[in-house]
Copies of this chain bind each other. A is one copy, B any other.
Amino acid sequence: MSRKSDSEIKDTLLLKISERSAKLGIIGMGYVGIPLAVAAGNSGFPVLGFDILKGRISQLNACQSPIKHIPNSALEKLKVSGFEVTDDFTRAAECDALIICVPTPLDKTREPDLSFVESTMDTLRAHLRPGQLLALESTTWPGTTQEVLKPYIQSVGLDVGTEFFLVYSPEREDPGNAKFSTHTIPKVLGGDTENCREVGVALYEAFITKVVPVSSTKAAEMTKLLENIQRSVNIGLMNEMKVVADAMDLDIFEIIDAAATKPFGFTAYYPGPGIGGHCIPIDPFYLTWKAREFGLHTRFIELAGEINAAMPSYAVNKLVRVLSERGKALKGAKVLVLGIAYKRDIDDVRESPSVLVMELLRNWGADLSYSDPYVQTFPVMREHSFDLRSVPLSPETLAQQDAVLLLTDHTDFDYEMIAAHASLLIDTRGVYRRLGITVPTA
């Protein structure tokens, strides 16, 4: 193949992108893939979704959004322009761009589990062809795109950079963020070669406000990790500071809010009952794992992980102490947990510290119930099982409890009503301080 025809392959793909005739295949229709499909579809691209879960596929093809902040109407609009979801991966050959948005969790020994990425590539491999772009969005260790994905492409005889284009562009979804959406959050992108980067930037610029090119796929992978590492470390720091402040009879939430009045050099992060979700508790350890290959220890990540992981126990110990002061044991006590989603105003309980607190409470023998407006039934989880439904909050329900433990600070809770009727209320989020109501914190 001559240089000219190589350049023709790239130019043809760039033309398809600029004309919005390039077909996008999005693999993994979840918290990342669905908003991405909506953003790309809204910009005029034909989008084909891939997933392996039959239930998810039929749900999406029926325009039922499984994500709170994506309305059904967004899927209906997409469907008009041909959007569908399939588990037929042979159709990957139809696509001009393939974007992988599958989970990258940790395994039981807290090592990276790339099995979803690898099984995707195993399946896709046979359907790759010249003139395609492949983008990975899943969070992963620096080097993954080059060391894991590229060999798959080379194994089918495609030359990366001339016939086929490979990029890494990390998702930056922030569920529940009212100010920013997929479309408006700047997107970092690294290419395996200059040509790869050029094609990748062209694609994403067609439906994302700002694309930030970096020098390599590895640099883009590290960027995403650094973002979540900083968050994990700062939350860990505030959790450690909470313990110190508690011992000194200081209110850490007051301290943080006062420090945040400094107009430079300080950013408010808040302590809580631990950290949750599919990013902050997991991503940092991808770097920890890879750093070991270089004989290095990521000590801040380890320390943050340790301190954050100890917070559910800290909250429960505080409850035990406050109950004890009232002459009451936790065993047999009626305890109502407020909020089981991993953060405010979302319905996602993955890695939620509330669930860990509930496990501890059950272990202590508490008579447990929960209330969460976004999670009506305790969901099926791999490692946790509670036969519970959300309790509607009323003065009567609250008054019946020995203790109420506020874990997730959903906007919808009627905080004043709760404080008025709970005989004992412990706030792990600092909500009540801002309302000017004094309750124990943990």
Contact = CB atoms under 8 A, between A and B. Distances in A.
B247 A291 contact: yes
Nearest to A223: B258
A147 to B, nearest CB: 12
Nearest to A213: B258
Contact of A227 (B180, B215, B262): B262
Contacts of A226: 241, 255-256, 259, 266
B300 A227 contact: no
Q: What copy number does this chain have within its complex?
A: 2
Interface in A291-325: 291, 294-296, 298-300, 303, 307
A256 B188 CA distance: 12
Interface in A355-371: none
B291 A244 contact: yes
A179 interface: yes
A92 interface: no
Interface string A136-155: 00000011000000000000
Contacts of A236: 300
A233 interface: yes
A435 to B, nearest CB: 16
A264 B234 contact: no
B230 A294 contact: no
B303 A258 contact: no
B218 A250 contact: yes
Contacts of A259: 188, 223, 226-227, 230
A55 interface: no
